[in-house]
Amino acid sequence: MTVISTNNNVLTFINVFTVEPENQERLIDLLTSATDVSVRYAPGFISCSLHRGTEGTKVTMYAQWRSAEEYQAMRNDPKPLPYLQEAMTIAKFEPGSYEVVKTFEPATE
């Protein structure tokens, strides 16, 4: 389960993919398949959430991993590779790794 907190010792990856609107659903299917067949079983995987841009040209994956090394090991696994290779033929990939520095809750009166 995704937990966003400054107290968690996790590495967050926010990966933004840009696609033509006609390819958005295909990209979601490819990322879902890659996650289902391999990524979610990888050592160090904590969680991920897949987001569809409402304008039709973005797909964003928010993923949490225990370490950059474990994330890289998953990237070197050949099982998800066919899905990711196809995804790169229809999408531009903008990866990013982050640490949570602050979270906000609704104000109480």
Across residues 13-18, what is the average pLDDT?
A: 96
Residue 63 confidence (pLDDT) above 90: yes
Residue 68 confidence (pLDDT) above 80: yes
The percentage of residues in the chain with a pLDDT greater than 90, rounded to a whole number, is 82
- Give 22-53 pLDDT, tens digit per residue: 999 999 999 999 999 999 999 999 999 999 99
The residue among 49, 47, 61, 48 whose CA lies nearest residue 91 is 61
Instruction: Name residue 10's amino acid.
Output: V
pLDDT-derived band at 16, boundaries 50, 70, 90: very high
Residue 108 confidence (pLDDT) above 90: no
What is the DSSP-derived secondary structure letter of residue 79?
S
User: What pLDDT is stored for residue 109 in this prediction?
Assistant: 75
| SS3 of residue 68 by DSSP | helix
| Average per-residue pLDDT for the chain | 93
The percentage of residues in the chain with a pLDDT greater than 70, rounded to a whole number, is 100
| SS3 of residue 53 by DSSP | coil
| pTM, to two decimals | 0.88
